[in-house]
Chain A
Amino acid sequence: MIEQIQYTATPKYNFSQIINNIGLSRKFIELSLNSMNEIKERFFQPWIEFNGQSIERSGEQEDTVEVYSRDAFSIISPLEPIPDNTPIVAIDTSSIKVGETESGVICAVRGAVVWNERRQYRCLRIGPFPFHITEDNKREILRVLGQYSPIAYSSNASFLIEVQSRLCNALERWIQMMVSRSASNSIILWDGTLSCRPQNDCVSLLLRILEDARRNSNAVISLSKASTVKFLGRRITDLLMKQREPCLLEIDEHMLSISSKSLRLLGKIYVAKLSEKGYAFRVDVDRGLSRDVHMMALRRLMGNDSVFQGYPEALRLAHIFSTFTASDVIGIQRFISRKYGLKVVTWPSIRKALFGPFGTGGAGD
């Protein structure tokens, strides 16, 4: 399975071929198909979340770390870019609820890989995959996801919406794994952090993906928009914005507060400001790599990807290509009602009468 990619030819990557040749799609498609085939209801209530937000990875906010000591703050500045044509590969996924049935919710999941080779951006979209999640099939779904979304029995998987984010997570981990295995000498950008809550059995999978990446001389860098580093209740990301030049702040593990230490950190945490004008972000870099490699990876990222407002363009694109717009949602709804012959119900009053307590997934009306 683990193949070295021949990188003499340009372009180097053809993720579409790689990913198509591999099994999870099949597993994922089957899961999607099976769940959808269970729709026996005649009614379907389309749903559009008008704030346009797809659900953020659950619990990312909780991954925010607190620094209790200021002693060892060392700012590395300026951070010099290294333009050496290192390929940048970014991965993101998103999910959205597209409707409700009498027995559950219908959601869709989509992933995107964007890679930048010599300033040429290419993109692969995976999905959308529709899923019908019900009280009856949610355990089966989680079981099939298996290693890609380790079940945390303590977490409130009773919410169907939680299953949706698990599906999204599983797709993301799977794409991350494929990319780690097939890319080489590249910088791989993830969205989010490289930490796990201890009660969550995700560590082994993550460790494996990072290991695969390292074996192919890749560096995994995870950028977090939502999570941050706090010192005395203030965001260090904000403090760094005042720096004129691109710079980096190292956060040593011993600086972290007790509560933060309870997280399993698989990455070394930095706060990075990657462009002169721009925001600072919390950046986690694979702990399995040395500090020098961390620096090199970040500088290569600056040198080979456009960084707009402090955020790498490849990752921005991956986010954009994976998230759902309203017209995507309508298109998916159309697909569902066509393919499964569902009767669309649009009036809220009818909906209440038909659906009772289900379907809102805890998200409220």
Chain B
Amino acid sequence: MRLYKKTGNTIHIISFPDEDVEKGCYLIIDDKRAGRSMIVQVIDVQFANVPGIMEELLREPLIDDPVKGDDIDPFDITSHILYVQDARLLVCKVHGTIEDGGLCSDSSWLPSRTHSTICRLPIGRLMDIVNASIRYPISIGETMEGTPMVIDASILDGKLNIITGRKGVGKSHLSKILVLGLISYGATVVVFDLNGEYKNLGLNLDGERNEFYEKVHVLVPGENFKVTLAQTGLSVVMKILVHALNLPGTSAREFRHIWRFLEERNMLSLHEIGEAIRRWQCNQQVKDALFSRYYTLLHANFFTDNVNESVNFEGLLQNVERSGGGAIIIDLSNSSSVDRQIVVEYILAKLQDLLSQWKIRAVFLFAEEAHLYLRETYWDDIVTRMRHFGIFTTFITNQPDTIKESIYRQADNIFLFNFVNEHDLEVISRAAKVDAETTVSIVRDLPPHHCLILGDVVRNFPIVAKVKPLNVRAMGETRLFFSREKGLEAAQSSRP
């Protein structure tokens, strides 16, 4: 490899066909005389502008058939000519300089063209250079060189993460790896599981219980996850009514009165609230508004008057924390949009309560496609106030534009999977933590199950990783139309 050109923090390097470099890998330009080396990342591999190559291509004759040819080339010079013609241009970005054994961000100096040597810098060595000692390793797969790609769980602590990429490339898969990694170190994790795909984290591929079985708690709202009004408390109910169910201000005030009225008489129940609304002295409009919300709440089947049927969510969280960590999976796959919002309001409110009262220490929250249930005002809250309390969120989405630019800017780590759509690429290029060119060029060509990691976990050196497979059942039951039909057929044919 030879240094060709440098403009700003972009470096062009000529590389020959036998040199093993690919998009995303790192190179080190070592200028021994200057006593410094520059660390650069290859962000694009292009044809080198080899002089005469145009003539070479134009040599194809006028006729359609290509000319079949032989060479009498006793010196085998042709191989050298082809070698030159196949030269590639590596477009690289400077990521820092090593001087006196230390790393600095200086990228302004010019390595010598003549006495610099350029060679590949394996990710493993790069991480050694940046002193990335890892206390709580989570293995997420392999680097481009096939060495283990390990991140430090403690660096996810207190952080905001985003996992994005187009559908089916492995976002949820990576998210599961992170969840399992975190709980293996005793962390408490809550997952908003939109597709019901986390509920079998405790089972391996052939359905046997794995080491996490005891630590994975699946809550299905309306089924094994119901709460009483008393557990919920007025303030949470009010949030649900106002934010999830859009109850207008005056009606909300009336509801508050009704709640207090019943509470004073120790009569707080779903049934009594219905009765109270019916009897309450207020104008018809308010009454209608209250009734419609009331029925929605009833319908959600999330609230119950039966204490035995209810889940003590606070207790569950505290238990999880005390018993050495675990994941609480909120399976939202069968909930309607409104129901999802109700549940999410409840959980976020409860988490904030518990955290602010120091009843639990911290929670890692994984939210799949959060725009489908997270109300507008929560987004900024999550990255500021809630983070302060100890809710550390990871957003997972295939629609990068559903996350605001300000959120991207505050994200500590971003895991980018492949995008091909120009609009999506543009969104992430504006939002991501490194230069747009690096992001777009690398992300555009990422194969499935590969991601570009940006941020603290990689010491701000963008790194491409191949995410490892996971011996965990992905879905509960895979819902397939034809397999059900098959099941029916089987049932019918087995009939006597």
**Do A and B come from the same complex?**
yes
> A114 at the A/B interface (Cβ < 8 Å)?
yes
Known: A124-B71, A127-B72, A320-B59. A331 touches B80 (CB 8 A): yes
> B18 at the A/B interface (Cβ < 8 Å)?
no
Residues in A with CB closer than 8 Å to B71 are 124-126
| Leading 8 A-B pairs by shortest Cβ distance | A331-B81, A326-B52, A325-B52, A326-B51, A123-B69, A16-B70, A327-B52, A335-B80
> B50 at the A/B interface (Cβ < 8 Å)?
yes
Can you name 10 extra interface pairs (CB under 8 A) apart from A327-B85, A331-B84? A120-B65, A123-B69, A123-B70, A320-B59, A326-B52, A326-B55, A327-B51, A327-B53, A331-B80, A332-B77
> B491 at the A/B interface (Cβ < 8 Å)?
no
Select from chain B the residue with minimum beta-carbon distance to A48: B51
Chain A residues at the B interface, C-beta cutoff of 8 Å: 16, 19-20, 25, 29, 32, 48, 52, 108, 114, 119-130, 306, 308, 313, 316-317, 320-321, 325-332, 334-335, 338-339
Assess the A327–B50 pair: CB atoms within 8 A.
Answer: yes
Residues in B with CB closer than 8 Å to A317 are 61, 67
> B56 at the A/B interface (Cβ < 8 Å)?
yes
Residues in A with CB closer than 8 Å to B63 are 119, 121, 306, 313
Known: A16-B72, A125-B72. A338 touches B67 (CB 8 A): no
Assess the A121–B77 pair: CB atoms within 8 A.
Answer: no
A329 CA / B56 CA spacing, docked (Å) = 12
From the candidates B73, B80, B83, name the one contacting A125 in the complex (CB within 8 A): B73
> B62 at the A/B interface (Cβ < 8 Å)?
yes
Assess the B75–A335 pair: CB atoms within 8 A.
Answer: yes
Residues in A with CB closer than 8 Å to B77 are 108, 127-128, 130, 331-332, 335
Residues in A with CB closer than 8 Å to B85 are 327, 331
> B33 at the A/B interface (Cβ < 8 Å)?
no
A248 CA / B83 CA spacing, docked (Å) = 46
Residues in A with CB closer than 8 Å to B68 are 120-123
> B490 at the A/B interface (Cβ < 8 Å)?
no
Would you list which residues of chain B between 38 and 61 have a CB under 8 Å from chain A?
50-53, 55-56, 59, 61
Chain B residues at the A interface, C-beta cutoff of 8 Å: 50-53, 55-56, 59, 61-63, 65, 67-75, 77-78, 80-85
Residues in B with CB closer than 8 Å to A321 are 59, 67, 69
Assess the A25–B72 pair: CB atoms within 8 A.
Answer: yes
Residues in A with CB closer than 8 Å to B80 are 331-332, 334-335, 338
A sample of 12 cross-chain residue pairs with beta-carbon separation below 8 angstroms, ordered by A number, consists of A25-B74, A48-B51, A119-B63, A121-B65, A125-B71, A130-B77, A313-B62, A325-B51, A326-B50, A327-B85, A328-B52, A331-B78
A52 CA / B52 CA spacing, docked (Å) = 9
Assess the A114–B83 pair: CB atoms within 8 A.
Answer: no
Assess the A130–B75 pair: CB atoms within 8 A.
Answer: yes
Assess the B75–A129 pair: CB atoms within 8 A.
Answer: yes
A340 CA / B84 CA spacing, docked (Å) = 18
A317 CA / B80 CA spacing, docked (Å) = 22
From the candidates B51, B55, B61, B65, name the one contacting A330 in the complex (CB within 8 A): B51
Assess the B84–A327 pair: CB atoms within 8 A.
Answer: yes
Query: Closest approach, in angstroms, between the C-beta of B49 and any C-beta of chain A?
Result: 11
From the candidates B52, B61, B72, name the one contacting A20 in the complex (CB within 8 A): B72
Assess the B61–A332 pair: CB atoms within 8 A.
Answer: no
Select from chain A the residue with minimum beta-carbon distance to B86: A327
Assess the A122–B69 pair: CB atoms within 8 A.
Answer: yes
Assess the B61–A121 pair: CB atoms within 8 A.
Answer: yes
Assess the B69–A125 pair: CB atoms within 8 A.
Answer: yes
Residues in A with CB closer than 8 Å to B59 are 320-321
A303 CA / B70 CA spacing, docked (Å) = 26
From the candidates B61, B67, B73, B84, name the one contacting A127 in the complex (CB within 8 A): B73
Assess the A325–B55 pair: CB atoms within 8 A.
Answer: yes
Assess the B56–A125 pair: CB atoms within 8 A.
Answer: no
Query: Closest approach, in angstroms, between the C-beta of A341 and any C-beta of chain B?
Result: 15
From the candidates A20, A25, A29, A327, name the one contacting B56 in the complex (CB within 8 A): A327
A221 CA / B70 CA spacing, docked (Å) = 24
Residues in B with CB closer than 8 Å to A16 are 70, 72
A125 CA / B68 CA spacing, docked (Å) = 11
From the candidates B51, B53, B67, B73, name the one contacting A122 in the complex (CB within 8 A): B67
Residues in A with CB closer than 8 Å to B53 are 325, 327
A339 CA / B81 CA spacing, docked (Å) = 14
A213 CA / B274 CA spacing, docked (Å) = 114
Select from chain A the residue with minimum beta-carbon distance to B85: A327
Assess the A331–B82 pair: CB atoms within 8 A.
Answer: yes
Residues in B with CB closer than 8 Å to A114 are 67
Residues in B with CB closer than 8 Å to A20 are 72
A320 CA / B77 CA spacing, docked (Å) = 18
Query: Closest approach, in angstroms, between the C-beta of A44 and any C-beta of chain B?
Result: 15
A182 CA / B74 CA spacing, docked (Å) = 22
Assess the B70–A124 pair: CB atoms within 8 A.
Answer: yes
A122 CA / B50 CA spacing, docked (Å) = 27
Query: Closest approach, in angstroms, between the C-beta of B57 and any C-beta of chain A?
Result: 10
A130 CA / B59 CA spacing, docked (Å) = 22
Query: Closest approach, in angstroms, between the C-beta of A296 and any C-beta of chain B?
Result: 24
Select from chain A the residue with minimum beta-carbon distance to B70: A16
Select from chain B the residue with minimum beta-carbon distance to A124: B70
Query: Closest approach, in angstroms, between the C-beta of A344 and any C-beta of chain B?
Result: 10
Tell me which of A19, A128, A308, A338 has the highest count of chain B C-beta atoms within 10 A of its own C-beta.
A128
A125 CA / B74 CA spacing, docked (Å) = 11
Select from chain B the residue with minimum beta-carbon distance to A327: B52
Tell me which of B52, B56, B75 has the highest count of chain A C-beta atoms within 10 A of its own C-beta.
B75
Select from chain B the residue with minimum beta-carbon distance to A325: B52
A29 CA / B76 CA spacing, docked (Å) = 12
Assess the B62–A328 pair: CB atoms within 8 A.
Answer: no
Query: Closest approach, in angstroms, between the C-beta of A124 and any C-beta of chain B?
Result: 5
A317 CA / B56 CA spacing, docked (Å) = 12
Tell me which of A126, A129, A326 has the highest count of chain B C-beta atoms within 10 A of its own C-beta.
A326
Assess the B56–A325 pair: CB atoms within 8 A.
Answer: yes
Assess the A19–B72 pair: CB atoms within 8 A.
Answer: yes
Query: Closest approach, in angstroms, between the C-beta of B239 and any C-beta of chain A?
Result: 70
A20 CA / B70 CA spacing, docked (Å) = 11
A60 CA / B53 CA spacing, docked (Å) = 29
Query: Closest approach, in angstroms, between the C-beta of A26 and any C-beta of chain B?
Result: 9
Select from chain A the residue with minimum beta-carbon distance to B74: A29
A18 CA / B156 CA spacing, docked (Å) = 72
Select from chain A the residue with minimum beta-carbon distance to B51: A326
A155 CA / B420 CA spacing, docked (Å) = 67
Residues in A with CB closer than 8 Å to B75 are 29, 32, 128-130, 335, 339
Query: Closest approach, in angstroms, between the C-beta of B114 and any C-beta of chain A?
Result: 8
Select from chain B the residue with minimum beta-carbon distance to A28: B74
A327 CA / B52 CA spacing, docked (Å) = 5
A27 CA / B194 CA spacing, docked (Å) = 79
Residues in A with CB closer than 8 Å to B83 are 331, 334
Query: Closest approach, in angstroms, between the C-beta of B47 and any C-beta of chain A?
Result: 12
Residues in A with CB closer than 8 Å to B67 are 114, 121-123, 317, 321
Residues in B with CB closer than 8 Å to A306 are 62-63
Tell me which of B50, B51, B53, B73 has the highest count of chain A C-beta atoms within 10 A of its own C-beta.
B51
Residues in A with CB closer than 8 Å to B74 are 25, 29, 129
Select from chain B the residue with minimum beta-carbon distance to A17: B70
A313 CA / B270 CA spacing, docked (Å) = 94
Query: Closest approach, in angstroms, between the C-beta of B14 and any C-beta of chain A?
Result: 11
A196 CA / B55 CA spacing, docked (Å) = 33
A317 CA / B75 CA spacing, docked (Å) = 23
Known: A306-B62, A313-B62, A325-B55. A124 touches B69 (CB 8 A): yes
A327 CA / B55 CA spacing, docked (Å) = 9
Query: Closest approach, in angstroms, between the C-beta of B113 and any C-beta of chain A?
Result: 10
Residues in B with CB closer than 8 Å to A330 are 50-52, 81, 84
Assess the B81–A332 pair: CB atoms within 8 A.
Answer: yes
A267 CA / B85 CA spacing, docked (Å) = 41
Query: Closest approach, in angstroms, between the C-beta of B230 and any C-beta of chain A?
Result: 82
Known: A119-B63, A129-B75, A335-B75. A327 touches B81 (CB 8 A): yes
